Amino acid sequence: MQDSTDHSAATELADITTTRAGYDGVAQLYADLFKHNLESRALDRAMLAAFAESVADLSSGPVADLGCGPGQVAAHLATLGAEVFGIDLSARMVALARAEFPHLSFDQGSMERLSIDDGALGGIVAWYSLIHLPPDRVPMVFREFHRVLADHGHVLLAFQTADLPDTVEAFDHKVARAYRWAPKRLARLLTDAGFTVIARMVREPRPDERFGQAFLLASKVR
Ligand SMILES: C[S@@+](CC[C@H](N)C(=O)[O-])C[C@H]1O[C@@H](n2cnc3c(N)ncnc32)[C@H](O)[C@@H]1O
């Protein structure tokens, strides 16, 4: 079902090569740092719980965790009853996810080009993974999400917020170039791609975070 990504240097965009190499390099450190991250984030878990409940009601296909990293969000969704698999650019991340959560399926691939049939998914989670996409490619990715989701399928996004309303700002992420979005702006792109935005949640940064954190839940409604 998964990866048709062409990793050859001739065809791959430079930012994708850089992001993959960056996460390959820090994969173990990242996995150790974020293993228990959700435990102290009740509001983030609340969004995941609402998403899991929404896709369970629908039962029209599995959930793809796109940019799954070491797999802890996919594993959390599985404990909530979701049938979930993960896809990530980084081979090291995929290897760590498979080792830690052998009961789940993880594959290497890009959210920009999914080898998934039209309408095959009940849900998509992109948890701090869209942040590395150059903003001009986000509309195309949302159209790809729309293509692979079943009618009434749900998408859940997590990302760092921009300071100013309706803006997108590059920030100095440690691994790869990244962007933080005003929720309103990203929500508009979801709407443009055919989604209906159901909920947006913004919370203040915790002491170990630099920025506010935002969450968007949307569905594909015909
Ligand atoms: C900040 S980490 C988030 C990982 C995980 N979702 C979490 O919350 O811990 C970003 C992840 O997205 C992946 N990623 C970035 N761009 C991607 C793309 N175009 N397709 C698939 N994965 C991507 C990276 O390899 C990395 O593992």
Give the CATH number of the domain where residue 137 resides: 3.40.50.150
pLDDT for 127-164, tens place per residue? 999 999 999 999 999 999 999 999 999 999 999 999 99
Atom in ligand 1 nearest the alpha carbon of residue 158:
8
Per the structure, how many domains does the chain have? 1
pLDDT above 90: residue 60:
no
Average pLDDT of the residues in 75-88: 98
Domain assignment present for residue 143? The answer is yes
77 lines ligand 1 (CB under 6 A): no
108 lines ligand 1 (CB under 6 A): no
pLDDT for 105-114, tens place per residue? 999 999 999 9
User: Probe ligand 1: pick from 89, 111, 137, max atoms within 8 Å of CB?
Assistant: 89
pLDDT at 222: 66
Could you tell me which residues come within 8 angstroms of residue 176 by beta carbon, excluding any fewer than 6 positions away?
15, 18, 19, 22, 23, 132
156 lines ligand 1 (CB under 6 A): no
145 lines ligand 1 (CB under 6 A): no
Confidence of residue 173 (pLDDT cuts 50, 70, 90): confident
Domain assignment present for residue 158? The answer is yes
Domain enclosing residue 210, as ranges: 14-220
Domain assignment present for residue 191? The answer is yes
Domain assignment present for residue 9? The answer is no
Average pLDDT of the residues in 162-177: 93
Structure token digits, residue 65: 């965790």
Question: How far out from the chain centre does Cα 210 lie?
Answer: 20
Domain assignment present for residue 8? The answer is no
pLDDT above 70: residue 30:
yes
Confidence of residue 78 (pLDDT cuts 50, 70, 90): very high
pLDDT for 44-54, tens place per residue? 999 999 999 99
Confidence of residue 212 (pLDDT cuts 50, 70, 90): very high
pLDDT at 2: 44
Tokens 């409940």 — which residue? 53
pLDDT at 4: 44
Domain assignment present for residue 26? The answer is yes
Domain assignment present for residue 179? The answer is yes
127 lines ligand 1 (CB under 6 A): yes
Structure token digits, residue 70: 């070491």
Burial class (CB in 10 A: 0-12, 13-18, 19+), 55: buried
Question: What is the pLDDT of the chain when averaged over all its residues?
Answer: 94
Phi, psi angles (nearest 5°) of residue 89: -60, -35
pLDDT at 1: 41
Burial class (CB in 10 A: 0-12, 13-18, 19+), 76: buried
pLDDT above 90: residue 8:
no
Confidence of residue 12 (pLDDT cuts 50, 70, 90): confident
89 lines ligand 1 (CB under 6 A): yes
Atom in ligand 1 nearest the alpha carbon of residue 20:
25
Atom in ligand 1 nearest the alpha carbon of residue 72:
9
Domain assignment present for residue 5? The answer is no
